[in-house]
């Protein structure tokens, strides 16, 4: 199902990061995990291969939010697709450079959004 697509997953809640990683890998995707924006940025300069989708929480710590992270990635990789996830209410999601999915979500809904965003 994953068709060898690579997803960079950025989530600061360890349990959710692990759950989403397992879901994505179970669906056949290659997953690179980062617990914060600084770690995720390392993949801009490292030769890790093509990243097909950035999935990031909007609130990933004090250093940087997911929207800022996506902007930095899109400067270097303008064709990168972005999927934002967040449980925070009141955020203006219309200004985001990608699709948004509100937490909590089911595994089925998450995988459907990922697949739709990749293909």
pTM reported for the whole predicted model? 0.89
Total domains in the fold of the chain = 1
Using omega within 30 degrees of 0 as the cis cutoff, is the peptide bond preceding 96 cis? no
Q: Is residue 105 part of a domain?
A: yes
Query: Is residue 87 pLDDT above 90, yes or no?
Result: no
Q: Which residue has the higher pLDDT, 87 or 103?
A: 103
Q: How far is 5 from 46, CA to CA, in rounded Å?
A: 18
Q: Which stretches of the chain are DSSP H helices?
A: 14-26, 37-45, 66-76, 107-118
Mean pLDDT (the chain) is 86
Q: Is residue 1 part of a domain?
A: no
Q: Is residue 76 part of a domain?
A: yes
Domain of 111, CATH number, reads 3.40.50.2300
Rounding to the nearest 10 degrees, give the CA dihedral for residues 110, 112, 113, 116: 160
Which pLDDT value is given to residue 107? Answer: 94
Please give the residue range of the domain that contains residue 104. Answer: 6-118
Q: Sorting pLDDT into bands at 50, 70 and 90, what band is 64?
A: confident
Phi and psi at 83, nearest 5°, equal -125, 120
């Amino acid at each position: 199902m994953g068709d060898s697509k690579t997803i960079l997953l950025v989530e600061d809640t360890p349990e959710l990061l692990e759950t989403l990683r397992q879901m994505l890998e179970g669906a056949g995707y290659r997953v690179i995990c980062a617990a914060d924006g600084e770690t995720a940025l390392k993949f801009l300069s490292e030769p890790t291969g093509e990243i097909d989708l950035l999935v990031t929480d909007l609130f990933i710590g004090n250093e940087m939010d997911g929207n800022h992270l996506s902007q930095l990635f899109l400067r270097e990789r303008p064709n990168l697709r972005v999927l934002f996830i967040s449980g925070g209410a009141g955020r203006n999601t219309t200004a985001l450079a990608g699709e948004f999915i509100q937490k909590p979500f089911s595994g089925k809904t998450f995988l459907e959004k990922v697949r739709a965003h990749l293909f």
